[in-house]
Chain A
Amino acid sequence: MVEGDRTSGAASRDRSARPAADDWGASAVTTAIVDRLQPGDHVCWAFHDDEERLRTTLRFVAGGITTGEKVLCLTEDPTPEALRAVLEARGVDVTAAVARGQVRFRDARGSSPDTGVFDPVSMLDDWRRELGRARAEGYASLRAITDMAWLARPVSVTGIRRLAWYEAQANRMFADGYATVVCLYDRRLFTAGDLRGIASAHPGTAFTPGDESWRPQLRILRTDDPLGLRLVGASDLSTREALTAVLAGAAEDLPGCGAPLTVDVTGLTFADAAAVHALVRTAQTASAGLRIVGASSLMAKLIHLAGGCDTRGMTVETTADGPSPSTAREHTV
């Protein structure tokens, strides 16, 4: 079964390798996947070749123009100007959208492209500014697609760890459900080992866009009433760093007024030991405690095993539907 998925992925790669200059929409699969993204999604898009990158960008930008969202395109090579020209040549009316301020092309290297130094903290500040700016301009949501290729060059273990940290921390911002963010990772530049850690810092990863049923594996969304987070999908090793970062930052990011943070796990179809331990640790750091709602009986049992029962300020409310086999639900989402 694992092999089967690989095969379909390989087939789609072969298709995308063919020049498709006059027909960027030919890959219905890629189209379908891009269109399935929602505000709050932060996806690691591990692409195989330039054509796939371009088609993904095209579809993503064109979709954003149609829905009236603010669209941000971050690239280094091709340059912002060149990418804009290519999109225009492929039939997307970016000129008009740029003219009315809806679409912006920018250097991917953040606010100081000259140094070329990766400063994760200033990059996160940069995102904060972009989100604030789009909001100030009155857009209901923001779409951003960013090519991370420039970070593959000074490749080192520390660099990759910093990059994974940055991607994981970014989820704390994106959890507010305003932006849809696609991070493009070139598989020719990043090794499989690099991508493992980087992917796990994203709640969703598109490795083989040949699977039509693909969607981000996990969605981590902030809720205001009650104050907290809603988790939808499955949380395992492939989303671990993303979830851990949001939960570890929750006490700081969601300062309640004496009310406990609420994490709604009704839509969480699977959680591994690390996810459950991260929840318990959140309960230990949140000043007013943590309330888990919608837990399956299995989830409640796992929280108990992880020491949640001994954690002051942690409450677990189970779903009324009795012993719900959470994995059975996983495949129907």
Chain B
Amino acid sequence: MSPTELTTDRDGGAAPFEHLGLLYRTAADYLTGTVPFVRTALSAGDPVLVAAPKANLDLVRSALGSDARRVGFADMTVAGRNPGRILPGVLLDFADSHPERRVSIIGEPVWPGRTDIEYPACVIHEALINTVFAGRDAAILCPYDAQRLSPRALADAHRTHPVMEHLGTRRPSDAYADPLDVAAGFNQPLPAPPPETATAAYRGQASLTDVRRFVTQQAEAAGLAADRTAELTVAVNELVSNTIEHTTGGGSVAAWSERDTFVCQVEDTGHLADPLIGRLRPAGGASRGRGLVFVNHLCDLVRIHTRPGRTAIRLHVLLSASGP
């Protein structure tokens, strides 16, 4: 759908997609910013989803009273633990299940508990929302805890949201930047794996079985639960299959534990030129990228550094947490 098609079927003017950053300091701020957003959508008969950390979900739910029954709720610390799966698994999933309606979503992907390692993936996600939802009939409101988040996080919110809201006032964000540029800025070399990391080289489709065995053995030895080990094995298999299908060379898989996380890194000689790969819902026939959607769903974090001739994709699975 082109934006022009959409502008004609709604109020005849405004761009159909709104992506708002909401700065809040207190619970009262939070409700001032979110509840009218929800009620306006409900009164228009539009579907509404609130995806936020549980405490904020509870806050909105109780403020909405009986209206809460007409709203979808998702704990973002679970559904969006991996920021890379919020677009396909939360936002697009909700939008696509209401194809004829304008959807309104509160999405809070950045919260004070996010680690420094997770953070870049959150900003990439926020930036790419603009690209993915461009032209869609939707409003996404992203609350940011201005009290507890770092100045850097608040500055990034201004870079990834065309409009910012604070204490009931909406202003265009002067700092808003091209989403693909923002995402590209976080395409940085990953820190080196620890020394003496177990590594397996692969080349050709006949080595897939060996790769799966390697991942399973390493994950089990690290104490990863059996169901998560099986999921991680599926994820690594997808990345390795991509190498074999789309590059002329082989690659390698490295596995190690890092504090409370089990990590697998797949490296090859390819280049992931499309930053949206793995973030769109797999459409019927299209095969490209659906493997990466699986990877995003199955892992707790996906970190990518890619350039022509070399791509490293690092998958994190929490040793303690249960599956997504």
A197 to chain B, nearest CB (A): 10
Task: Judge if B113 is at the interface, Cβ distance under 8 Å.
Answer: no
Jot down 30 A-B pairs with beta carbons below 8 A, ordered by A. Answer: A2-B200, A2-B207, A2-B211, A5-B207, A192-B204, A196-B204, A199-B206, A234-B209, A237-B205, A237-B245, A238-B208, A270-B234, A272-B237, A272-B238, A272-B291, A273-B290, A274-B241, A274-B290, A274-B291, A277-B282, A296-B230, A298-B230, A302-B294, A305-B293, A323-B227, A325-B227, A327-B230, A328-B216, A328-B226, A328-B230
Q: 8 Å CB contacts to B: which residues of A35-61? A: none
Contacts of B213 in A (CB 8 A): 1, 330-331
CB nearest neighbor in B for A331: B213
- At the interface, yes or no: B202 with Cβ under 8 Å from chain A? yes
Q: Are B290 and A327 in contact (CB under 8 A)?
A: no
Question: Which residues of A are found within 8 Å of B234, using beta-carbon distances?
Answer: 270, 272-273, 298, 302, 327
Check B284 against A281 for contact (C-beta < 8 Å): yes
> A236 and B208: CB pair below 8 A?
yes
Smallest CB–CB gap between B47 and chain A, Å?
Answer: 16
Q: Is B233 an interface residue when CB atoms closer than 8 A count as contact?
A: yes
Residues of A within 8 A of B226 (CB): 323, 325, 328
Residues from chain B with a CB closer than 8 A to the CB of A277 are 282, 287, 290
Interface residue B49 (Cβ < 8 Å from any Cβ of A): no
Counting from the closest, the 5 A-B pairs by CB-CB distance are A325-B226, A238-B205, A325-B230, A327-B233, A237-B241
- 16 new A-B contacts, CB < 8 A, other than A270-B237, A323-B227, are A1-B200, A2-B202, A2-B211, A196-B204, A200-B205, A236-B237, A238-B208, A270-B234, A274-B290, A277-B287, A306-B282, A307-B282, A327-B216, A327-B233, A328-B226, A328-B230
Q: Which residues from 275 to 333 on chain A have a C-beta closer than 8 Å to any C-beta of chain B? A: 277, 281, 284, 296-298, 301-302, 305-307, 310, 323, 325-328, 330-331
Considering the complex, give the chain A residue whose CB is closest to the CB of B297.
A305
| Listed residue (B202, B206, B227) with the most chain A CB atoms within 10 angstroms of its CB | B206
- Whether the Cβ atoms of A325 and B229 lie closer than 8 Å is yes
Closest B residue to A192 by beta carbon equals B204
Interface SS of chain A: helix
**Given A2-B210, A237-B241, A327-B212, do A273 and B205 touch, yes or no (CB 8 Å)?**
no
- What are the residues of chain B within 8 A of A298 when measuring CB–CB? 227, 230-231, 234
B61 at the interface (CB under 8 A from A): no
Nearest chain B CB to A167 CB, angstrom units: 15
In Å, the complex CA distance between A273 and B281 comes to 13
Distance A231 CA – B293 CA, assembled complex (angstroms)? 24
The DSSP consensus for interface residues of chain B is helix
* Docked complex Cα distance between A274 and B282 (Å): 11
Q: Does B166 contact A (CB under 8 A)?
A: no
- Least CB distance from A310 to B in Å reads 8
* Number of A positions contacting B (CB below 8 A): 39
Please measure, in the bound complex, the distance between the C-alpha atom of A134 and the C-alpha atom of B160, giving whole angstroms. Answer: 68
Measured in the bound complex, the distance between the Cα atoms of B208 and A56 in whole Å is 26
Interchain CA distance A331-B200 in the complex, whole Å = 18
- Are B282 and A272 touching (Cβ within 8 A)? no
Shortest distance in angstroms between A267's beta carbon and chain B's nearest beta carbon?
16
Q: CB of B128 within 8 A of chain A?
A: no
B198 to chain A, nearest CB (A): 10
Task: Check if B111 is an interface residue, CB within 8 A of chain A.
Answer: no
Residues of B within 8 A of A297 (CB): 227
- CB pair A273–B200 under 8 Å, yes or no, is no
B201 at the A/B interface (Cβ < 8 Å)?
yes
Chain A residues closer than 8 Å to B210, beta-carbon distance: 1-2, 5
A71 to B230, CA, bound (A): 41
| Complex contacts, B241 vs chain A, CB 8 Å | 236-237, 272, 274
Task: Report B277-292 CB contacts with A as 1/0, cut-off 8 Å.
Answer: 0000110100100110
Query: Complex Cα distance A192/B203, Å?
Result: 11
Does residue A217 face the partner (Cβ distance < 8 Å to B)? Answer: yes
A207 contacts the other chain (CB 8 A): yes
Would you call B119 an interface residue if the criterion is a C-beta within 8 Å of the partner chain's C-beta atoms?
Answer: no
Which one of B207, B209, B216 has the highest number of Cβ atoms from chain A below 10 Å of its Cβ?
B209
Evaluate whether A217 and B238 lie within 8 angstroms (CB atoms) in the complex, with A196-B204, A237-B244, A307-B282 already known. no
Q: Is there a chain A Cβ closer than 8 Å to B94's Cβ?
A: no
Residues of A within 8 A of B214 (CB): 1
Q: Is A3 an interface residue (CB 8 A)?
A: yes
Chain B nearest CB from A212 CB (Å) reads 15
Given A1-B214, A2-B207, A326 contacting B230 (CB threshold 8 A): yes
